[in-house]
């Protein structure tokens, strides 16, 4: 019997399923950041708004990276549907905290897929995900640094304005 | 043609000459490429079988399945749906693309 399936596809279907779930997660993160950008825009936190617009774009790039990887491996990447985007935040700090929580969730999910790849000797999948492991560490750090500013500078009107001015937009 | 897996109602064969698969649905045999087989797997796995039992959403327990870019249409009841899910799971183990350890129905 010819190994037609293996000629067509170079990752396991289980890895593909997990990566398709990750696509949905990245798409959700992208949409979520857009909602955060909107809130910041409306509340005149201009730099924070730019920051989240950029984050939103980056999450879409993450999504596309995984999308193309699945298809390059001969799998079937599935275009995600996104729902349940939160638009309500009580403060600027609340937004950055939600952003960090979201990143932590994404990190956990990436780590879980790496673990599954390791268990199943899926070297392609594991190798591909290394980039995401590093990326998640950086993203968490960026948000943690911003949250430190609230501890440092306080939470009243002028402090918030100063914090916003310190948010890097590029 | 090589038999890859067999469930209660269905069987899956591979044809080396044509580089494709044949799914025997009992009343009809459908030819499928690897990509179409993969798409079928995702469709079948996306079915929420609990809706057949605990929900008013699908109280008749009927699934309508289109195959091979809507070339074929099947209507399956609950036990046929479960059987097709088992066939697909076993098939990908036979194909060497699944890390699932146990086949549902031994060949
Ligand atoms: Fe991401
Ligand atoms: Fe991120």
Q: Tens of pLDDT along A58-78?
A: 999 999 999 999 999 999 999
Specify the pTM: 0.92
Which residues of A lie closer than 8 Å to B, measured between beta carbons?
1-6, 8-9, 12-14, 17, 74-76, 78, 119-120, 122
What whole-number distance in Å separates Cα of residue B33 and Cα of residue A78? 18
Which ligand has the shortest distance to the CA of A132? 1
DSSP A42: H
Cβ pair A64, A9 in contact under 8 A: no
Q: Copy the structure tokens of residue A41.
A: 């825009």
Q: How far is CA A105 from CA A7, A22, A88, in A?
A: 35, 11, 19
* Sequence spans of domains, chain A: 11-78+91-166
Asked if B102 is an interface residue toward chain A (Cβ–Cβ < 8 A), one would say no
Q: Tens of pLDDT along A87-141?
A: 999 999 999 999 999 999 999 999 999 999 999 899 999 999 999 999 999 999 9
% of chain A at pLDDT higher than 90: 92
pLDDT score of B97 = 92
Residue of A nearest to B20 (CA): A4
Asked if B85 is an interface residue toward chain A (Cβ–Cβ < 8 A), one would say no
Residues of chain B contacting A122 with CB distance shorter than 8 Å: 99
Predicted complex ipTM = 0.88
CA angle (A148 as vertex; A146, A150 as ends), nearest 5: 85
Q: Tens of pLDDT along B70-103?
A: 888 999 999 999 999 999 999 999 999 998 876 6
Q: Copy the structure tokens of residue A72.
A: 């390059």
- The number of beta carbons lying within 10 Å of the beta carbon of residue A66 is 23
Residues of chain A contacting B16 with CB distance shorter than 8 Å: 1-2, 4
pLDDT score of A137 = 98
In this model, does residue B104 exceed pLDDT 80? Answer: no
Cβ neighbors of B43 (< 8 A, separation 6 or more) are B65, B66
Residues B16, A76: C-beta atoms closer than 8 Å: no
CATH superfamily of A11-78+91-166: Ferritin, core subunit, four-helix bundle (1.20.1260.10)
From the candidates B99, B100, B101, B102, which should be mutated to test the interface with A, based on the most A CB atoms within 10 A? B99
């Amino acid at each position: 019997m010819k190994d037609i399936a293996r000629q067509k596809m170079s990752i396991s279907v289980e890895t593909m399923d997990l990566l398709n779930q990750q696509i949905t997660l990245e798409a959700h993160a992208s949409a979520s950041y857009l909602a955060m950008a909107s809130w910041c825009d409306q509340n005149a936190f201009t730099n924070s708004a730019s920051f989240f617009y950029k984050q939103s774009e980056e999450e879409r790039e993450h999504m596309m990276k995984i999308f193309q990887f699945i298809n390059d491996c001969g799998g079937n990447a599935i275009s995600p549907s996104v729902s349940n985007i939160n638009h309500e935040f009580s403060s600027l700090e609340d937004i950055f905290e939600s952003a960090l929580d979201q990143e932590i969730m994404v990190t956990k999910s990436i780590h879980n897929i790496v673990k599954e790849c390791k268990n199943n000797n899926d070297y392609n999948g594991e190798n591909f995900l290394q980039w995401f492991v590093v990326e998640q560490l950086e993203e968490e750090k960026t948000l943690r640094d911003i949250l430190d500013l609230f501890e440092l500078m306080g939470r009243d009107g002028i402090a918030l304005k100063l914090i916003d001015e310190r948010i890097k937009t590029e | 043609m090589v038999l890859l897996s067999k469930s209660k109602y269905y069987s899956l064969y591979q044809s080396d000459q044509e580089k494709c698969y044949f799914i025997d649905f009992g009343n009809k045999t459908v030819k499928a490429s690897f990509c179409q087989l993969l798409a079928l797997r995702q469709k079948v796995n996306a079915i929420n079988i609990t809706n057949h039992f605990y929900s008013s959403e699908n109280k008749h327990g009927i699934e309508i399945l289109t195959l091979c870019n809507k070339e074929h249409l099947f209507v399956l009841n609950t036990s046929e749906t479960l059987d097709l899910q088992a066939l697909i799971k076993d098939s990908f183990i036979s194909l060497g693309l699944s890390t699932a350890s146990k086949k549902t129905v031994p060949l």
